[in-house]
Amino acid sequence: MLITSDFEMGYLIVVFALLGVIFIGALLAAVHLDRWHPKLIGAAIGALLGFVLIEAVPLIT
């Protein structure tokens, strides 16, 4: 994938954050880790994972 503008990078980070809210937030809620807000933690982990993937993939190819 070729990212040519800042809009595309922001869009991908938002997409990964939303996927983190859905998947990681649901996982944390399912195992009853409600000490912190599961959806907020899921969004943070998803955004960090998205940023790491965006930065790491060009280095691999």
Residue whose entry in the numeric block shows the structure tokens 């930065």 = 55
Q: Can you tell me the distance from the alpha carbon of 42 to that of 23, in angstroms, rounded to the nearest whole number?
A: 7
25 neighbors 42 (Cβ within 8 angstroms)? yes
C-alpha angle 47-9-38 in degrees, rounded to nearest 5 = 15
Backbone phi, psi, residue 35, to 5°: -65, -45
Return the domain boundaries, the chain.
6-56
- Comparing 17-21, 39-43, 57-61, the range with the smallest average pLDDT is 57-61
Q: What is the pTM of this model?
A: 0.65
What would the pLDDT profile of 11-25 be if each residue is shown by its tens digit?
877 888 888 788 877
- Rounded to an integer, the average pLDDT of 28-50 is 77
Q: Is the pLDDT at 43 greater than 70, yes or no?
A: yes
